[in-house]
Amino acid sequence: MTRDSDRVVLIAFGGPSSSGKTTVAQTLKVLLPDVTLIHLDDFYLTDSQIPVDEATGYQNWDCAEAIDFEKFKTYIRNIKSGKKQVPVDSIQSNDLKLRLSPAEKKQILERINQNSDKFARKELVFIDGFMLFHNPEIIKLFDIELFFHASFDTLKKRRESRGGYNTVEGFWVDPPDYFANIVWPAFVNSHKYLFIDENVANRLKPEIAKQYNIYDINNDNDSTLFDLVQQSLQFIIDNL
Ligand SMILES: Nc1ncnc2c1ncn2[C@@H]1O[C@H](COP(=O)(O)OP(=O)(O)OP(=O)(O)O)[C@@H](O)[C@H]1O
Ligand SMILES: [Mg+2]
């Protein structure tokens, strides 16, 4: 008999804000037979516990200290060991602006069907979050890692075209220049160790990508949702 820890496969969709994690994770969840989707955003501390950035006086929602990682680690380890978890009451909204055409959807579904035996033996759990790869202790919780990223300009434009975010107690709207002053520096400082020459405009260091089994997905605006879903699905299939 397969142990629960072999049956449950934890798949991380990581990367900076607006890199496409939630879009791709939600799209694949709809197409795959039975996926549980967990959002790191559901492990934020309460609004008054969010650290305040000294230089700007803004709350910093984009650093690791804004998340209750002890609660998150316990939750993830329990899922991996097959313990049923109380579902978190998700604060995520389901805003799927990018969609697949019927022909693209058909092609993805065919790929899934060709691998139905593999999927039937596994229970897939997707974890979607902006701080999953900043710390090897967290990276190691997962079995398969997808790392989405894009350029400063692309991410800034996407982030600034969003209305805001649900929080534990309310709704957050970015103040002026929030992306450049808070979101981007928090991402760069905590993730540059993964990139060639510590420069987040580059690809991931091949030795780190190999060590942690991270698939490097550059999602600038020339990528289509179809590309992203197809690549992510193939990496998952190859690693199941
Ligand atoms: N390749 C792309 N081309 C055009 N728009 C894109 C692309 N990828 C993502 N987007 C858009 O960017 C926005 C952010 O995407 P998404 O919500 O998936 O990001 P995220 O990584 O989950 O960000 P956050 O961490 O802030 O939740 C969405 O409106 C999405 O439609
Ligand atoms: Mg998201």
User: Tens-of-pLDDT digits for all 240 residues of the chain?
Assistant: 456 778 999 999 999 999 999 999 999 999 998 899 999 999 999 999 999 999 999 999 999 999 999 999 999 999 999 887 766 766 666 555 568 999 999 999 999 999 999 999 999 999 999 999 999 999 999 999 999 999 999 999 999 999 899 888 899 999 999 999 999 999 999 999 999 999 999 999 999 999 999 999 999 989 999 999 999 999 999 999
* Identity at 49, one-letter amino acid code: Q
Our answer on whether the CB atom of 18 is closer than 6 Å to any ligand 1 atom is yes
97 contacts: CB under 8 Å, gap ≥ 6: 23
Instruction: Name which of 13, 24, 219 is nearest 129 in CA terms.
Output: 13
CATH of domain 4-239: 3.40.50.300
Q: What is the distance in A from the centroid of ligand 1 to the CA of 2? A: 37
Our answer on whether the CB atom of 154 is closer than 6 Å to any ligand 1 atom is no
Residue 105, H or E segment: helix 102-114
Q: How far apart are CA 194 and CA 96, in angstroms?
A: 29
Q: How far apart are CA 154 and CA 220, in angstroms?
A: 6
Minimum CA distance residue for ligand 1 atom 2 = 221
- Note the pLDDT of residue 218: 95
Compute the radius of gyration of the chain from its Cα atoms.
18
- Note the pLDDT of residue 94: 55
Which of ligand 1's atoms lies nearest the C-alpha of 219? 1
* Identity at 70, one-letter amino acid code: E
Q: Which of 41, 62, 128, 143 is catalytic?
A: 41
Would you tell me how many other CB atoms lie within 10 Å of the CB of residue 27? 23
Instruction: Name which of 207, 191, 212 is nearest 142 in CA terms.
Output: 212
How far is residue 236 from each of residues 12, 115, 229, measured CA to CA in Å? 10, 11, 10
Which of ligand 1's atoms lies nearest the C-alpha of 23? 18
